[in-house]
Amino acid sequence: MYHLIIYLALTNPVVRYVRVADGKQWDDVAGALAATPTYADTAIALAEETYINGIPITIPADLPAGDFDMLIYDAASPATTDALTLGRRIMWSGTALIGLPLSL
C-alpha cells in the first residue's frame, strides 16, 4: 500500500525520515531509529511507477509513531552532501498518515 505519491521527474530518488523530537533517523538496514546511523543506511530507494506517472512512497511498517521530516533526494550514491529535492513534515500514527504532509 502506498501512503503518498510524488509527481517529480527524478532519476535516482531516495527518501529519509528524521524524527522531529530528537533528530533520530530511520536506519532502514537496522529497522530502527538511530542517533548516528551510517548515512547510506538511512536512504531508502524509490522507483517511478509508469502507470501512475509518479513515485509512490510506502512508509516503513516499523517506523514508530511521531512527527517526522520526510526528505527526498535524487542521488545515485547517497551522501551527506546531497541537495534536498523535496521535504515534507509528516505526522505518523504508526500505521497511517495523520492529516496532510506540510511543506518544509
| DSSP run (H or E) holding 40 | helix 39-42
The HSE-up count of residue 18 (CA atoms within 13 Å, CB side) is: 13
The rounded mean pLDDT for the chain is: 95
Domain that holds residue 90: 4-103
Cell readout for 35 is: 542517533
Instruction: Give the total number of structural domains in the chain.
Output: 1
In the chain, the percentage of residues whose pLDDT exceeds 70 is 99
Q: In b/e form, how buried is each residue of 84-97, taking b as 16+ CB within 10 angstroms?
A: ebbbbebbbeeeee
Predicted pLDDT at 1: 66
- Condensed to tens digits (0 to 9), the pLDDT of residues 36-71 reads 999 999 999 999 998 899 999 999 999 999 999 999
What 3-state class would DSSP assign to 9?
coil
Can you give the pTM of this predicted structure?
0.95
